[in-house]
Structure 1
Amino acid sequence: MKIAYIGTYPPRECGIGTFTWDLVDAISSSPDSASFVDEAFLVALNDHDLLYAYPKEVKLTIRQEQQADYIEAANFINLSGADLCVLQHEFGIFGGQSGVYILPLLHRLKMPVIVTLHTILKAPSYNEKAILKEICNMASRVVVMSHKAIEFLTSIYNVSKEKIVFIEHGVPDIHFDHALAKKEFKLESKKVLLTFGFLGRNKGIETVIKALPSVIKEHPEVLYIVLGKTHPNILRHSGEEYRNSLHLLVKSLKLSDHVFFLNEFMDPDQLFKYLAACDIYITPYLNEAQITSGTLSFAMGVGCSVVSTPYWYASELLADGRGRLFDFNDSDQLSSILNELLGQPDVLKELQQKAYEYGKNISWPKTAEKYIALAESILGEPCQSIDKKETIIDLMLLPPFSLAHIKRLTDDTGIIQHAKFGIPNLKEGYCLDDNARALLMALMAYKQKKDVAALEFMPIYLSYIHYLQNEDGTFKNFLSFNRNFMDEVGSEDSFGRTIWALGYLLGNAPNDAYYQTGRLVFFEAASNFENLKSIRSIANTMIGICYYLKSNPSDDDMTERLRNLAYVLVAHYEDNCTANWHWFEALLAYDNGILPLSLLHSAEILNDEKIKKVALDSMAFLTSHTMKDGYLSIIGNSEWYQKDGPRSVYGQQPIDALAMVLMFHQAFHLTRDKKYLNELYTAFMWFLGENDLRMSLYDFETKGCCDGFENYGVNRNQGAESSLAYLISHLTVLQAHEEFYKSDG
């Protein structure tokens, strides 16, 4: 049998990686595997584009936030000859919202899958629940490490009990003598308390530190060792803030001689020496929501006397006298327990003996035996057709998402409007439309991909919008490169696109400062909503209002303003609609998909069937004239498409493709009809060569998008409008792909 493993893996410093390493080693070394497992390899997860010097068994890596890597991994595993796949699941190690990127990989695998769950949430979000249910649906068996996990899976996630297998967290079969370990670390005269693992605020180290003064009064020889590095994700976002706060607490309590921080990620041998040297192991976690703990398992395996808060896994593992529990955040209760145990060596020894006896049953060799038996059982079963959804969107054809060209176009004022080929054209300066689109794109990129560059761009685009707002709430549009205003009041279209971006910001702001600024500008502009005449400006404004109302549904005044604007579009539709012309004007012009899109958004908010019908009818009409040959053929801007007249083919522009992508995405979101995902993907492929000229508008070298094409070929200039249209479309495809795999159908 050939096994493919998927998970994090050393040298990446990660608890799941340690588990994967131990599992692979234990199965490969087990006598039971000699006649059954003849080959194994790893597919390892990288984080934030970091690279690691992996050992030879790692045959492929997945970059956490690169969706295409997951598809490539599925294809690689399918072609590898693997008979079985073993996946380690933890929400934080896979890309996409709540780790959704793992789903398309699992859907494509053509062999049975064992999934080991390291986290099972009691109160999951909608996405977390949907994703975990789908993972369990795809798995042949789901391995859990506590009985509480079985309870949650069956009662919360509706997983069949027959699919769930209980296998204890393995413990390395490493043992050191207590006295010798103490001697090696020169701790013979100390009573050693120990906590190890990645540091973070949920670990509750301060609870132990606050308990120490009362303990030291009775046992002045006590030393508390805190062993472990700060968790990489915390370090990335908050630095050593928590560790520094602990040092300050130690100093304020005058405990510097009794607390020692060892900021290292230990190899197993060294770690187990510290465990052997300790007298009491403490896990002071701050809340109950932990379904398993490798650190606690290791301590039990070594035979430590353990004192812990009653989180789920500890309550289960320390039952029947195998350890002692104290309440969350209760330093006084902890100090009482520590004084009792340190003052009664016989009681302490009894705890150690019970832990040791239990630990003998959870060694990695025993755990490996259970995994091997499970694999044999699965492969001995008749082949069953596992319910796997067909992938509608093929991410393998998407270029990697890149903000390289946007970075090239953006300076400290805003995004430059035009480009000569891939080089910013400073002579043309800046415009409001593009900075609004850029803000929308940056918000989407940060929300979906946690792109740090996108976060850094946001205040630039938002400050441009704020700078160009007039006292009456309208906006100027154009600004020269030397920061001179080029107009007094911009177009209604630029106004509407700005409201769209601001509305999206109010529902997706990454911090309060951006939210408050966006809210200020949005409501300064709101007095102008009813004055709009251009139906595309009205449509763009409606979309912004809809995004605002999604996060502020109780704003009845804004809801009624949305309804009034929607019925302005409905009236235009009714005035122009005939038996063969289901449209808002007597021509199809530019940015056409925005009109049905705005009504699709409004229908979702207002729950109005008339608005929904006009949206779907006009969308069907537009689709029939632009996608009848199996690819998107945009209405050209040279002469447009007059009712009963000839259709213009050339002068096709990316903003029209973007409008179609967004329109089909919202149609799927509203109706859950998967045909709209096919049409969305078809529309997006216009950028990559599925168009009238069969030429790609996306430039794989500059990472920009060309400004469109004429009958002579592609306009190779790569301005902000076209490049942002591509990037927003790309992000929408990724979002639609996630939604597809989270849907029940």
Structure 2
Amino acid sequence: MKLAYIGTYPPRECGIGTFTQNLTQSMLGFDDQGIAENELLVVALNDGNQNYNYPKEVKLQIQQEQQTDYLEAANYINLSGADICILEHEFGIFGGLSGVYILPLLHRLEIPCIVTLHTILDAPSYSEKAILKEICKMADKVVVMSHKAISFLTEIYDVKQEKILLIEHGVPNIHFDRLPAKTEFKLTKKKVILTFGFIGRNKGIETVINALPEVIKTHPEVLYIVLGKTHPNVLRHEGEEYRTFLQLLIKNLNLQSHVLMLNEFIGEVELFKYLSACDIYITPYLNEAQITSGTLSYAMGAGCAVVSTPYWHAAELLTEDRGRLFDFNNSEQLAALLNELFDQPETLKQIQENAYEYGKNVTWPKIGKKYLHLCNSLLSFPKQVLEKKETVIDLLLLPPFSLTHIKRLTDDTGIIQHAKFGIPNLKEGYCLDDNARALLMVLMTYKQKKDEKALEFMPIYLSYIHYMQNTDGSFRNFLSFNRNFLDEVGSEDSFGRTIWALGYLIGNAPNDAYYQTGKLVFFDAMPNFEKLQSIRSIANTVIGICYYLKTNPSDEPVLDTLKSLTQKLLHQYAVSHSEDWKWFEHLLAYDNGMLPLALLHAAQILPDKQIVDVAMTTMEFLEEHTLKDGILSVIGNDKWYAKDGERSFFAQQPIDAMAMVLMFHQAFLLTGDKKYLTKLFDSFMWFLGENDLRMSLYDFETKGCCDGFENYGINRNQGAESSLAYLISHLTVLQAYEEFYKADASAVSEKIKDLQSV
């Protein structure tokens, strides 16, 4: 039997990775000659831009935030000859919001699939619940490691009980006698308390440290060992703040000789020596929401006396006198419990023996046999056939997402406005429009791909916007390369685009510093909102306000401003449209898709049927004149398209294609109708050659986007506007693809009903 596994894998330092490796090895199965009966291959998940020197069984790697890697992995597994696939699921190891990127992979698998769930939430977000339900629907069998997990799946996620199987968390078949282990670590004169695993604030280690002063009054020989590195995600975002806090607490309580913090990620053999050397093992987690704990299972397997807070797995596992429980954050209760156990060595010994007896039944060889039995039983039945959830969006047609050209255009002031071919044209300096678009793009990039490069660019673009703001809240637009202002007040278009980016920032800030700065600039600009005359500026401002209101829905003054600006757009439509010209002006000019887009955004906030009607009507009118037979032909800026006149086909520009992509994406979000995904993808393919000239505007060499095309062909200059328009469109396609796989069919029909009756 050939087995395919998907999960993290050593040498990546991750509990799921250790689990995956142990499971693969336990399922090899050996005959009398010691030859493996089964073949395995591993598809390993990489975090960030990390790469690892994997062992030979890892045949393919997935970069966590690279969506196309998941599709390629599905194709690889289907063609590998594997009989069955085993997925280790934990929300944090897969890319996209709540790990949604795993769904397209599972949809494409053509072999039976077993999913092992390492986290099941009792109060999931909408996305977490939708994604886990979809995973369980596609799985042929769902494996959990506790009885509590079964009740959660059946009651919260509507998974049929017959689809669920309980197989305990395995433990290595490694044993050391307590005295030799203590002797090796020179701990024979110590009463050792141990906690191991990745360190983070939810581990509650301070609860134990605060309990120690009371314990050492009676048992001065107590030593508390904290064994483990800071969790990589914590380290990436917070550094060693928590470890420093613990070290300061140890110093303040004068416990330096009673607490040993070992900042290491050690192998299993060494770990079991520490477990064997300890007298009491503690998991002092701060809340109950942990359905499975590998560290707890290991401690039981090593025959440790476990003391724990009553999180779900501990409350279930420590019954039958296999351990003791204490309340969350209760250092006094913990101190009394530790003193009681140290005072009663026979009781302590009995708990250790009970734990050891349990551990003998969950060693990895025994757990591996249970998984093999499950695999054989699944292969004896036909694979369940589910309706394929497919979308016209083909991510494998997209070039790899790259910020290379943006990096080339960006210096410490901002993003350079223009380029000669792919080279920054410093003579043209900077403008507000492009720095606002750049801020929007890197915010989208970081939100979707967690790209650290995007985070590095963010303060550059935001500080440019702040620098260009006047005291009355308006903005200058142009700045020369030597940092001289070139205007007093910029265009209304640049103002609106800036508010769009700031609104998005407030709703999607990566940290509080960006949030507070964005909010400050946004509200300093707000007195100018009602003064706007340009309908495109109004449209961009409406979009920014909507992004702000999504996270601040009770801000009545801003809500009133949204209503007022939306009415201006509706009024402009009322005075300009006719039976055969359903548009806001007497011509189709530039950035046309932004006008319906603004109303589609407003419709999410304001329950007004007129907004929906005008948004859909004008979107359909624009589509009628620009999108035919799957080919986008945006209105050219050469002569535009006046009512009763002829439309211009030349000087087509990327911002117009971007506006169409964004418009259809918002229509999909509003209605749930996947026909808009087809139109969105057709619009995006304009960049890659599905256009009037049948030539790609994306430059695969420079990773930039050409400025458009003229009657003579492609304009090969690759300025900021065009390259940012391409990247924002690319990110929108990725986001739409992700949202499609999260969408619930019943929710879609409800959305359409709501729109019709609003």
**TM surpasses 0.5:** yes
Q: How does 1:657-696 map to 2 (within 5 A)?
A: 657-696=657-696
Query: How far is 1:260 from its partner?
Result: 1.6
Aligned to 1:654: 654
Q: How does 1:261-280 map to 2 (within 5 A)?
A: 261-280=261-280
Deviations 1:635-658, CA, capped at 9 Å, x for gaps: 111111222222211111000010
Aligned to 1:603: 603
Aligned to 1:11: 11
**In structure 2, distance between residues paired with 1:33 and 1:232:** 42
Query: How far is 1:33 from its partner?
Result: 14
Aligned to 2:591: 591
Aligned to 2:130: 130
Contact persistence 1:95–1:101 (CA under 8 A): yes
Query: How far is 1:238 from its partner?
Result: 2.0
Q: Which amino acid aligns with 1:637?
A: N
Q: How does 1:489-568 map to 2 (within 5 A)?
A: 489-568=489-568
Query: How far is 1:213 from its partner?
Result: 2.0
Q: SS state of the match for residue 515, structure 1?
A: helix
**In structure 2, distance between residues paired with 1:337 and 1:578:** 81
Q: Cα gap change, 1:567/1:238 in structure 2, threshold over 3 Å: closer, same or farther? A: closer
Q: Cα gap change, 1:32/1:342 in structure 2, threshold over 3 Å: closer, same or farther? A: farther
**In structure 2, distance between residues paired with 1:154 and 1:59:** 35
Q: Cα gap change, 1:248/1:214 in structure 2, threshold over 3 Å: closer, same or farther? A: same
Deviates more, 1:370-379 or 1:380-389: 380-389
- How many corresponding residue pairs? 745
Identical aligned residues as a percent: 74
Contact persistence 1:3–1:84 (CA under 8 A): yes
Deviations 1:354-408, CA, capped at 9 Å, x for gaps: 1111111111111111111111111112333123311331111112222121121
Q: Which amino acid aligns with 1:635?
A: I
**In structure 2, distance between residues paired with 1:632 and 1:228:** 55
Q: Which amino acid aligns with 1:369?
A: K
Query: How far is 1:615 from its partner?
Result: 0.8
**In structure 2, distance between residues paired with 1:489 and 1:563:** 26
Contact persistence 1:32–1:372 (CA under 8 A): no
Aligned to 1:699: 699
Aligned to 2:430: 430
Query: How far is 1:214 from its partner?
Result: 2.0
2:46 matches 1:79: no
**In structure 2, distance between residues paired with 1:118 and 1:85:** 17
**In structure 2, distance between residues paired with 1:317 and 1:624:** 64
Deviates more, 1:616-625 or 1:260-269: 260-269
Q: SS state of the match for residue 43, structure 2?
A: strand
**In structure 2, distance between residues paired with 1:522 and 1:732:** 24
Q: Cα gap change, 1:524/1:246 in structure 2, threshold over 3 Å: closer, same or farther? A: closer
Deviates more, 1:41-50 or 1:562-571: 562-571
Query: How far is 1:297 from its partner?
Result: 0.5
Aligned to 2:195: 195
Contact persistence 1:138–1:388 (CA under 8 A): no
2:361 matches 1:361: yes
**In structure 2, distance between residues paired with 1:564 and 1:503:** 17
Contact persistence 2:112–2:383 (CA under 8 A): no
2:408 matches 1:408: yes
Gaps of 5+ in 2: 746-758
2:415 matches 1:419: no
Q: Which amino acid aligns with 1:639?
A: K
Q: Which amino acid aligns with 2:289?
A: A
Contact persistence 1:30–1:368 (CA under 8 A): no
Q: SS state of the match for residue 54, structure 1?
A: coil
Aligned to 2:185: 185
Contact persistence 2:140–2:383 (CA under 8 A): no
Q: SS state of the match for residue 399, structure 2?
A: coil
Q: Cα gap change, 1:237/1:556 in structure 2, threshold over 3 Å: closer, same or farther? A: closer
Q: SS state of the match for residue 506, structure 2?
A: helix
2:341 matches 1:341: yes
Deviates more, 1:633-642 or 1:242-251: 242-251
Query: How far is 1:30 from its partner?
Result: 5.9
Aligned to 1:721: 721
Gaps of 5+ in 1: none
Q: Which amino acid aligns with 1:465?
A: I
Aligned to 1:467: 467
**In structure 2, distance between residues paired with 1:346 and 1:68:** 58
User: What TM-score results when the alignment is normalised by the length of structure 1?
Assistant: 0.97
Q: Cα gap change, 1:665/1:560 in structure 2, threshold over 3 Å: closer, same or farther? A: same
Q: SS state of the match for residue 489, structure 2?
A: coil
**In structure 1, distance between residues paired with 2:33 and 2:623:** 58
2:645 matches 1:645: yes
Aligned to 1:142: 142
2:294 matches 1:294: yes
Q: Cα gap change, 1:233/1:112 in structure 2, threshold over 3 Å: closer, same or farther? A: same
Deviations 1:127-177, CA, capped at 9 Å, x for gaps: 111111111111111100011111111111111111111000011111111
Aligned to 1:456: 456
Q: SS state of the match for residue 211, structure 1?
A: helix
Query: How far is 1:35 from its partner?
Result: 11
Deviates more, 1:204-213 or 1:715-724: 204-213
Query: How far is 1:36 from its partner?
Result: 11
Deviates more, 1:238-247 or 1:644-653: 238-247
Q: Cα gap change, 1:488/1:158 in structure 2, threshold over 3 Å: closer, same or farther? A: same
Aligned to 1:488: 488
Aligned to 1:633: 633
Contact persistence 1:7–1:17 (CA under 8 A): yes
Contact persistence 2:29–2:37 (CA under 8 A): no
**In structure 1, distance between residues paired with 2:471 and 2:210:** 56
Q: Which amino acid aligns with 2:527?
A: S
Q: Cα gap change, 1:486/1:528 in structure 2, threshold over 3 Å: closer, same or farther? A: same
Q: Which amino acid aligns with 1:27?
A: M
Q: SS state of the match for residue 547, structure 1?
A: helix
Q: Which amino acid aligns with 1:618?
A: T
Query: How far is 1:512 from its partner?
Result: 2.6
Aligned to 1:737: 737
Q: Cα gap change, 1:300/1:320 in structure 2, threshold over 3 Å: closer, same or farther? A: same
User: What TM-score results when the alignment is normalised by the length of structure 2?
Assistant: 0.96
**In structure 2, distance between residues paired with 1:387 and 1:2:** 26
Q: Which amino acid aligns with 2:141?
A: R
Aligned to 1:623: 623
Contact persistence 2:29–2:38 (CA under 8 A): no
Q: SS state of the match for residue 29, structure 1?
A: coil
Deviates more, 1:667-676 or 1:629-638: 629-638
Q: Which amino acid aligns with 1:190?
A: K
Runs of 4+ in 1 over 3 A off after TM superposition: 29-37
**In structure 2, distance between residues paired with 1:556 and 1:277:** 62
Deviations 1:591-644, CA, capped at 9 Å, x for gaps: 110111111111111121111111111111111111113111111111112222
**In structure 2, distance between residues paired with 1:160 and 1:118:** 18
Query: How far is 1:221 from its partner?
Result: 2.0
